[in-house]
Amino acid sequence: MEVVNTVGRRKAAVARVFVKPGKGQITINHKSLDEYFSLEILRYEVKQPMLVTETEGQFDVTINLDGGGIKGQAEAARMGIARALCEVNAEYRSVLKKNGFLTRDSREVERKKPGQPGARRKFQFSKR
């Protein structure tokens, strides 16, 4: 098996994921997973596709993350890893799809409108 290249997106975050056979090392922007994501919940979120498919420790994952915040980046990485695992073995697709890792979460921030302080918020009404 060669290197499998996929893309995961969430909000403004884009993750380019490269998966190859190895010892289970995850590298994000030339840093280790623990170094890049300090919160345990975000580290767990990135590892979820491998935990569900029971492939933890079988693949080395290299991720280039760009844009967005830490939560969006973690979810983008999760989607990219899930897509890569589908390309590695088609049998994983049903498990990953059932857990919702292959579905792009399309929710984006609504733009601010002119004459208002936010997207929907209006300035306080004053009768006099």
For residues 86 and 80, the answer to whether their CB atoms sit within 8 Å is no
pLDDT at 71: 95
Residues 6 or more apart whose Cβ sits within 8 Å of residue 126: none
- Domains and their CATH numbers in the chain: 4-98 (3.30.230.10)
pTM across the whole model: 0.90
How large is the average pLDDT for residues 71-88?
95
- Rg (C-alpha) for the chain, rounded Å, is 18
Q: Residue 32 and residue 57: Cα distance in Å, rounded?
A: 15
Q: For residue range 99-120, what is the model confidence (pLDDT) as tens digits?
A: 999 999 999 999 999 999 999 9
Residues 6 or more apart whose Cβ sits within 8 Å of residue 61: 17, 18, 19, 25, 26, 27, 81, 84
The amino acid occupying position 109 is V
Q: Is 1's pLDDT higher than 90?
A: no
